[in-house]
């Protein structure tokens, strides 16, 4: 039996659907009860997980308030710290309940914010978190591995880069909407390299890592196995959406200068810096390879965007 926390979220809902499709015994847990999930209430350092741990041998922990620092300002660090304690609280209860494995979905930000082109992050690189969110993920990883040494609970960590697919939120969704609307974007001369993970590929790896004997005690990176520039990403988005690519070739240094003047340097850095991951360890140790291409992932994301537009009123359909 696999328990999935954060079952109602973007990745969690896809994972639950895939577990169901494969006939794998599972249950979901989320803050609010739904048809597919137990309502566990507020997930924190004092949450009682006993109601959902019976018969569970593997936990996939997805629940995390990812944008605390930006959402709640000065208190963000406290919320992120609570995330860490909430994770360790669940793991301690899991160990006492006889759970065998704990799969923790971390973030590539534990490795750092950017890479030099052609020098991707690897799973065994020294951590280099650059902000409170990344540090909190690392703190949780380290706490879990310490608990593993004390209790024998097997811990597996997966660090994804940006995850996308139908229903994605955040910056990826914003870029899709910009392209759909035909907004000219000054990103036509960006020659970086970035890795992405289609949500179906991440779900596939999670399921494999949940049961593979070689996954215990390991950190894995995941991606679609194809690194592209921001310029190429926008071009592919346009193709998937059936829209012209309105991308203006503004040199990256000019973008950086303008962003610095506007106080948006960090936003532009995420668009022009490289961030590549090496999934060699994942391939070799687990025998895993991404089952779906980035082209397939973008097509599915685009179909979801078009479907959402068609559900709106006639004025919105023509936008």
For residues 110 and 132, what is the distance between their CA atoms, to the nearest angstrom? 10
Interval 218-241 mean pLDDT: 96
How far lies 214's CA from each of 2, 78, 86, 156, in Å?
Answer: 18, 35, 27, 10
Interval 205-209 mean pLDDT: 98
Query: CB neighbours of 280 closer than 8 A, spacing ≥ 6?
Result: 122
> Does the pLDDT value for residue 120 go beyond 90?
yes
Query: CB neighbours of 234 closer than 8 A, spacing ≥ 6?
Result: 175, 179, 185, 187, 188, 245, 247
Question: For position 269, what pLDDT does the model report?
Answer: 84
What are the beta bridge partners of residue 102? 59, 155
Report the chain's terminal Cα–Cα distance, integer Å.
46
Backbone CA torsion sign across 171, 177, 178, 180: positive
Interval 185-212 mean pLDDT: 96
- pTM for this predicted structure: 0.92
> Does the pLDDT value for residue 312 go beyond 60?
no
Question: For position 112, what pLDDT does the model report?
Answer: 97
Which tokens is 148 given?
């593993």
Query: CB neighbours of 21 closer than 8 A, spacing ≥ 6?
Result: none
Note whether residue 145 is domain-resident. yes
Reduced to 3 states (helix: H, G, I; strand: E, B; else coil), residue 189 is: coil
Q: Which domain holds residue 213?
A: 2-167+195-225+275-292
Using an 8 Å Cβ cutoff, are 13 and 203 in contact?
no
* Mean model confidence pLDDT for the chain: 90
For residues 125 and 104, what is the distance between their CA atoms, to the nearest angstrom? 18
Question: For position 32, what pLDDT does the model report?
Answer: 78
Interval 24-38 mean pLDDT: 83
Note whether residue 100 is domain-resident. yes
Reduced to 3 states (helix: H, G, I; strand: E, B; else coil), residue 247 is: strand
Residue with the bigger pLDDT between 97 and 270: it is 97
Active site residue 133: yes
> Does the pLDDT value for residue 274 go beyond 90?
yes
Question: For position 70, what pLDDT does the model report?
Answer: 46
| Among 49, 102, 133, 198, the one annotated catalytic | 133
Note whether residue 282 is domain-resident. yes
Which CATH number characterizes residue 99's domain?
3.40.50.720
The tens digit of pLDDT for each residue in 232-270 reads: 999 999 999 999 989 999 988 888 888 788 788 778 888
How far lies 209's CA from each of 53, 129, 188, in Å?
Answer: 19, 24, 38
> Does the pLDDT value for residue 149 go beyond 70?
yes
Note whether residue 7 is domain-resident. yes
For residues 224 and 165, what is the distance between their CA atoms, to the nearest angstrom? 12
Note whether residue 92 is domain-resident. yes
Note whether residue 172 is domain-resident. no
Note whether residue 189 is domain-resident. no
Question: For position 127, what pLDDT does the model report?
Answer: 97
List the Cα angle 119/245/251 in 5-degree steps. 50
Least confident span in 102-111, 243-252, 254-263, 279-288: 254-263
The tens digit of pLDDT for each residue in 67-78 reads: 544 444 445 566
Note whether residue 185 is domain-resident. no
pLDDT band at 82 (very low <50, low <70, confident <90, very high): confident
Interval 115-136 mean pLDDT: 93
Total domains in the chain come to 1
How far lies 48's CA from each of 88, 145, 319, in Å?
Answer: 12, 22, 48
Using an 8 Å Cβ cutoff, are 108 and 134 in contact?
no
Question: For position 73, what pLDDT does the model report?
Answer: 47
Residue with the bigger pLDDT between 111 and 260: it is 111
Interval 199-225 mean pLDDT: 98
Residue with the bigger pLDDT between 311 and 15: it is 15
Question: For position 266, what pLDDT does the model report?
Answer: 79
Distance of CA 2 to the CA centre of its chain: 19
């Amino acid at each position: 039996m696999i328990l999935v926390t954060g079952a109602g979220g973007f990745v969690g809902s896809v994972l639950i659907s895939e577990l169901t499709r494969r006939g794998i015994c599972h249950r979901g847990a989320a803050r609010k009860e739904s048809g597919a999930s137990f309502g566990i209430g507020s997930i924190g350092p004092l949450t009682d997980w006993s109601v959902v741990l019976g018969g569970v041998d593997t936990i996939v922990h997805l629940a995390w308030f990812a944008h605390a620092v930006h959402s709640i300002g000065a208190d963000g660090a406290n919320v992120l710290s609570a995330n860490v304690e909430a994770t360790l609280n669940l793991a301690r209860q899991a160990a006492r309940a006889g759970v065998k494995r704990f799969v923790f979905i971390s973030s590539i930000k534990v490795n750092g914010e950017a890479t030099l082109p052609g020098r991707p992050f690897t799973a065994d690189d020294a951590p280099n978190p650059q902000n409170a969110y990344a540090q909190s993920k690392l703190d949780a990883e380290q706490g879990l591995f310490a608990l593993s040494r004390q209790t024998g609970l097997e811990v597996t960590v997966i660090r994804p880069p940006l995850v996308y697919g139908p229903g994605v939120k955040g910056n990826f969704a914003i870029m899709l909407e910009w392209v759909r609307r035909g907004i000219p974007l000054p990103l036509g001369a960006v020659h970086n390299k970035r890795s992405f993970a289609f949500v179906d590929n991440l779900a596939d790896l999670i399921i494999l890592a949940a049961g593979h004997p070689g996954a215990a005690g390991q950190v894995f990176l995941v991606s679609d196995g194809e690194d592209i520039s921001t310029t190429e990403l926008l071009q592919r988005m346009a193709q998937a959406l059936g829209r012209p690519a309105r991308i203006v070739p503004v040199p990256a240094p000019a973008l950086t200068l303008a962003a610095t003047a506007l106080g948006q340097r960090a936003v532009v850095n995420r668009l022009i810096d490289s961030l590549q991951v090496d999934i060699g360890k994942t391939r070799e140790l687990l025998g895993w390879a991404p089952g779906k291409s980035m082209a397939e992932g973008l097509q599915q994301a685009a179909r979801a965007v078009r479907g959402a537009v068609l559900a709106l009123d006639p004025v919105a359909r023509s936008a």
